[in-house]
Amino acid sequence: MPPYLITTTTTITVKQLVGRTAVTIAITIEKMSGLLSSSPVPLEPRKAPHVLTIAGSDSGGGAGIQADLKTIEAFGCYGTSVLTGLTAQNTKGVQAVHAVPSDFVIQQLQSVIEDEPPIAVKLGMLTSASTIRALASYLPKLDCTTVLDPVIISTSGHHLLPEDAVEALYDLFPYVTFLTPNIPEAIRLSRTNTKETELKGLADMLQLAKDTQLKTGAKTVLLKGGHGKVSREDVLQYAGQYEIVWEEGDEEADTVDVLTEYRSTLGLKVEKDLVVDILVTGEEVVALFVGRKVDSSSTHGTGCTLSSAIASAYATRRKKDVPAGKDIEVFKRAISYTQSAIASAFSFGHGHGPLNHAHLTARRALPPPTKHNPHPFLTHLIQSNLPLWKSYVRHPFVVQLGNGTLPRECFEHYIKQDYHYLKHYARAHALGAYKANTLAEIQAFSEIALHVARESEMHVAYCAQFGISRAELAATAESSPCAAYARYVVDIGTQGDILDVYMAVASCLVGYGEVGLWLKKQVEEGNAVLEGNLYKKWMEDYCGAEFLAAVNRGIENLERRVAEDPPSPEKLARLTAIWHECVRLESRFWDMGLNLIH
């Protein structure tokens, strides 16, 4: 077929008698068409969503409209600005504030609105009561979403809003879609007599969030929990009552041990205290966003960044049919962006440094590795379908193996098939060596293939303990689940690039490391047995130092490659789909053993 022609197909159906049975046959007719497809390539640039910030200027560049515009740009939106005040400030604090007259604030606003109405407006430092009341009169004329970061006190303790201006905010609140106070601001705005030091855990924070929404009249409140300390046990009290969005893992907290183990090898401290942001709409708690605290002094402009991220995430949101205050994805994206901006911040100044707003400027689909999260790629993969991951690493086969109740014939069937899988696993790594572009990677893949070959000999020796000879292993036919998994891995390695190869072999390595660590924990907690267990050696091998060292090297290699050559959103989607399929096939491999599938 000439390369300049493309084929289109038309399918028709006819009925034909086969014996006495009428059979419907689909006939595909190919015909040649011209150069162009039915969907021409769009030539016009995509219009960026318009997000407006009404806030003060930060001469230090870390907060105010400077932080807002950087954030808006990072989300792929177009940012405009209305200045309410000028500040002389740096990372050490605010030295002076110059308020912009309220009539000029409105004049700026009118200029922007008359040219191009925004989809979302972020409001930050509003400087004076007259400006706030002027905005309260003007905002009802706008048909857009508003996000208010009630900037009352700076991080350094400088009062940015006089008391009469704080009271004027109550005239503005009814026109606010999203209000994002921190705990001290919420205490002030809810008109409670509670002191910050008197808050006793998550229950008091939940009540504070509901009181703030009720007293201000804002449609939705996101109470930022950075000033509080919450334990996992506190959060688990509300499992099933509220939607809980976990940064990593879930309420069981036992399906990401392999990532905790990896962090420990890097000498990184794992914070036990959690940060919980609370989303309230109409006095109803919608969700709790739970994450680990980022240990950083680069927090200048955090509130500005989060509120701008919410406005931008809303402007680009996908679930148009979900009420704004209940679109969990909007807040999840905004919180994740802000957290990564803190975690990846660079040193600047001598006080509270700025965030790294540019960490997604290169249109990265993933944040770079940081001390807070040195494994963002694997975190994404596991969290992308946590129930699927759990079906693999907490499979009944694994549970029964750990407590010694797995029938011997089930395990024997599994290890026979595992012998066949090891051959294909070695072939996949040989494909990786073929796809590699550097001698170092060629050597790494080749050494793993050789290691798997040596491991297969250990596997033969292990099978002999169960009375299974090498001849019997070779004579055993591959089961359909084993063949399906092995062919998929080799097929991905053949048709894809080297990162596809990494992806095809990763779930086996990382998953068995997770299983080994979990079984070790179960033994320590008395939920599994080691002594007298027929499968003791198998359990010890997969939680042993040698295998876990291989797992950690695998994670490090994978994260480094992804960080050096960040995948596009489309490539990330493909890699994630490969991971999901491999995890599903791993689970089917356990099914094969447990149910003696041939």
Beta bridge partners of 89: 94
* Residue 244: how many other CB atoms lie within 10 Å: 17
Q: Considering the candidates 508, 514, 559, 582, report the single residue annotated as catalytic.
A: 508
Coil, helix or strand at residue 140: helix
Write out the DSSP string of 20-34.
Answer: TEEEEEEEEEEEEE-
Nearest to 380 by CA among 371, 392, 368, 391: 368
Nearest to 151 by CA among 208, 85, 75: 85
Q: Is 144 a catalytic residue?
A: no
Q: Is 586 a catalytic residue?
A: yes
Residue 270 in tokens: 């794992």
Q: Considering the candidates 185, 261, 581, 586, report the single residue annotated as catalytic.
A: 586
Considering only CA atoms, give the Rg of the chain: 29
Residue in this structure with the two tokens 């769009």, named with its chain if needed: 42
Angle at 527 between CA 524 and CA 531, to 5 degrees: 65
* Residue 360: how many other CB atoms lie within 10 Å: 22
Strands 6-18 and 274-281: unpaired
- Do residues 204 and 254 lie in contact, with contact meaning Cβ atoms separated by under 8 Å? no
Rounded distance between C-alpha atoms, residue 294 and residue 343, angstroms? 6
10 Å CB burial of residue 417 (0-12, 13-18, 19+) is buried
| CA distances (Å), origin 488, targets 428, 477, 577, 581 | 10, 18, 12, 9
- Active centre residues (catalytic): 508, 586
